[in-house]
Amino acid sequence: MNADQTGGVTASAGSRIYRGLSGREAASRFSAEGPNELPASKPRTLWAIALEVLREPMFMLLVAGCVIYLLIGDVREALVLFASVGVIVAITIYQERKTERALEALRDLSSPRALVIRDGEETRIAGREVVRGDIVVLNEGDRVPADAMLLECNDFSADESLLTGESVPVRKIAWDGAQQLTRPGGDDLPFVYSGSLVTQGRGVAEVLATGMATEIGKIGRALAALETESTPLQRQTRRAVVLLATLGIMLSVLVAVLYGLFRGGWLEGALAGVTLAMAILPEEFPVVLTVFLALGAWRISRQEVLTRRMPAIETLGSATVLCVDKTGTLTMNRMTVRRLFCGGETYDMPAGAAPLPQAFHKLVEYSNLASELDPFDPMEKAFLELGARALDAKRLHRDWALVKEYPLSPGLLVHAHGWGPPGQQRFVVAAKGAPEAVAGLCALSHDERAALDAAVASMADDGLRVLAVARADFAGGAWPSSVREFRFTLLGLIGLADPVRPTVAAALAECYGAGVRVVMITGDYPGTARAIARQIGLADGSGIITGGELDAMSDDELRRRIGQVTIFARVVPEQKLRLVNAFKANGEVVAMTGDGVNDAPALKAAHIGIAMGGRGTDVAREAASLVLLDDDFSSIVHAVRLGRRIYNNIRNAMCYLLAVHVPTAGMAFVPLVFGWPMAFFPVHIVFLEFVIDPACSIAFEAEPSEADAMSRPPRAPGEPLFDFWMVLLSVLQGVSMLLMVALMYGYVLLNGAGETEARAMAFTTIVLGNVGLILANRSRTGLIVHTLRRPNRALWWVVGGTLAGIAAVLYVPYLRDLFRFAPLHADDLALCFAAALAGLLWFELYKKYLI
């Protein structure tokens, strides 16, 4: 394969002439191969959201109630229910649309630009328009638009950390005419890969693969093959909804049939059945789950965490293992100078702006002279930043002229610059590179070489990237073709590191306090990973497992050893996915953080995928459940705390829901059994729903986190939401409240009062009992008098709104007639309050004396 095979006309790009595609050839290939992009999930339209809402069972029951009211001639009741339908649909569509817009804002739809040779000219086009066979010109700072082979390059390096996890750029060489396209990773490959970043040099490359055929595309295919799992909470809620809905439908049909058989009114029987179905249908269960998580997503967004899959917030609260990618997650993904070695002395760079000792000035001075003038490479930037900070302007030599440059080569890993000081005939050569290569250019004694090797080993053992710096003089004339012809003097060593994020150590300590095990999974070298682990306080495990050792293990051996190891180094993307699956097979709840394309399959396979938003790729963000917008690792701790708070509040809300449905549904049966008039109609159930839904979605959700939320271990992965004692206590609360409401209704009827007064008193009792159940279920252990001290503004809005609502339907004539009530007096209200309080008394005594 060579440049001449691409067809078209000639153009110059570099030292050779290349043939680029013609516009017609490019258009033909674009039509045949498609755009150079990865498929993305399409957002739901407004109509799709509306259709989902219209399919909800509660919506259908409201419509059925409206139709029955129209059939029996009660237009006013029908209009009220239709208005309720409109309000519910509008609110739901609004909330769903807000979620969709948040996801749309997350997607970066802009395509990177690419400089290609077409029709004999260099032309800049959208990256999605690049086709196989295009000749691409790559300069420092460019994003590589497709997988390609380098036909020509000069001092070329690329940052492939998004694909490989390696924290430093890799060198590239020109294609030798024989090597086949291979996977990324390591130095001296003649291939560049889509999504990587050119950090140094200039090159000309021929595109070999685009779109789904690239390395990124292969990861995309792996993502497509992975199914996003539903969370345990979702599965438990779904089972409860199916069970209760089935029971509700059976009871509703039974009520309708019995009503028609014994009372002769089949339309009224159908209305009674619809009323019971509305009362017993557990539509709030999934609503609670959705709203709690949606509001949780809003709360956590204030901590710079964007939620893509809301159930993952709750699941994060039960996470037992957090798999952390090192580069860009634990570290800043930018190089800084950490240590200097010169003349047998070592100097560790302080965190502040302390002056640099004079003995190290020349080392820093010549490291700057050996660096690019306006670099993009993070290591080159680190050298210049140190020089600007530590040296005076005279030592920066801004007036010197760069006369000669010797780039890195596979045979000699040294980069050198020849400088001409103003007014002098002699020249100065500054070189830096691999310590062993630079040492070979210097006349070192045996002892000097041993001291150098020991210093290099010490730095490398601390996870530093080590470069040596040397200088030489040149008298002038024709410049040598190789730096080997100069007599260099070794100046010393410079150790660089990717600094750890300052908040990581504290965040890890809090994770340990919460019982969450933290594991580092990185594509970097073991020594670097071990050094980072020491800095952040990562708990020591039983050694390090490398990617090569991982390949040699069986799945059973991996599952056995994975419980003791906390560092996995030199790991490739498929192995990250295998590690996540091994943790899951051991019964762990796995959270995985990452920012690169290489992390995407593991992010999607994990129970909770957490992508970095600032530097993270679109592929990683698309695969993740949560996105850290500020790339702050400590935000994960906030998410864990919020997840535990959400689960506790969901459980309390579910207890309340189970309890409150018992009296609501029971009052459809009690009148039928005792031959009393129907107590409640659909309009009453709608009123109660407007109390129940805000209570669950606002009041319970706003409950603050418990004090010991982050000092107890995660709940067991198999722990059911609806356990026996929870269901029993909830049902007993509901039965006691039903008993009070039924006694109130029967007492008023049997004492000769009218149906409207009995209905008003029963309804007032059930509404006040509803408020009492809200207060009682705020805590499973604390008494109401104690929980009243906990701040929750949303709770008091709900309680206040409920009391205002019951006052309105009792004392506003139009509403009172609509609800078929009679006005109540003060003693009537006191009796209703006492009945509601009596229904709660046993539960408060149980919490005080038995828990």
The CA distance from 574 to 598, in Å, is: 8
Q: Which phi and psi angles does 514 have, rounded to 5°?
A: -90, 5
Asked if residue 488 lies in contact with residue 441, where contact means CB atoms within 8 angstroms, the answer is: yes
In this structure, what token pair is assigned to residue 618? 């679109």
Closest CA to 209 of 175, 166, 170, 180: 180
Asked if residue 597 lies in contact with residue 216, where contact means CB atoms within 8 angstroms, the answer is: yes
Angular region, 306: left φ>0, alpha ψ -120 to 50, beta rest: beta
Task: End-to-end CA distance of the chain: give it in Å, rounded.
Answer: 78
Q: How far is CA 130 from CA 145, 162, 211, 626, in A?
A: 7, 21, 9, 32
Q: Where are the beta strands (DSSP E) in 425-498?
A: 427-433, 465-474, 489-497
- Rounded to 5°, the CA angle 270-272-275 comes to 110
Q: How far is CA 745 from CA 472, 534, 678, 759, 828, in A?
A: 103, 70, 11, 7, 12
In this structure, what token pair is assigned to residue 778? 């705020």
Closest CA to 708 of 506, 503, 843, 515: 515
Closest CA to 438 of 375, 405, 483: 483
The CA distance from 175 to 148, in Å, is: 10
Asked if residue 493 lies in contact with residue 340, where contact means CB atoms within 8 angstroms, the answer is: yes
The CA distance from 437 to 442, in Å, is: 9
Asked if residue 209 lies in contact with residue 165, where contact means CB atoms within 8 angstroms, the answer is: no
The CA distance from 562 to 588, in Å, is: 11
Pairing outcome for strands 147-159 and 465-474: unpaired
Q: Is 28 helix (H, G, I), strand (E, B) or coil?
A: helix
In whole angstroms, what separates CA 18 from the centre of its chain? Answer: 45
The CA distance from 234 to 219, in Å, is: 28
Q: How far is CA 600 from CA 216, 219, 346, 550, in A?
A: 10, 7, 41, 20
In this structure, what token pair is assigned to residue 717? 């992965």
Asked if residue 800 lies in contact with residue 710, where contact means CB atoms within 8 angstroms, the answer is: no
The CA distance from 699 to 795, in Å, is: 4
The CA distance from 573 to 561, in Å, is: 20
Residues making up the chain, counted from first to last: 851
Residues in Cβ contact with 639 at an 8 Å cutoff, skipping those fewer than 6 apart: 300, 303, 305, 313, 316, 610, 626
Helix axes 793-811, 682-694, angle to 10 degrees: 160
Active site residue ranges = 325
In this structure, what token pair is assigned to residue 646? 């959400």
DSSP tally for the chain: helices H, then strands E: 30, 24
In whole angstroms, what separates CA 784 from the centre of its chain? Answer: 37
Q: Where are the beta strands (DSSP E) in 388-449?
A: 401-406, 414-420, 427-433
List b or e across 821-835, with b for residues whose CB sees 16 or more CB atoms inside 10 angstroms. bbebeeebbebbeeb
Closest CA to 659 of 834, 839, 831: 839
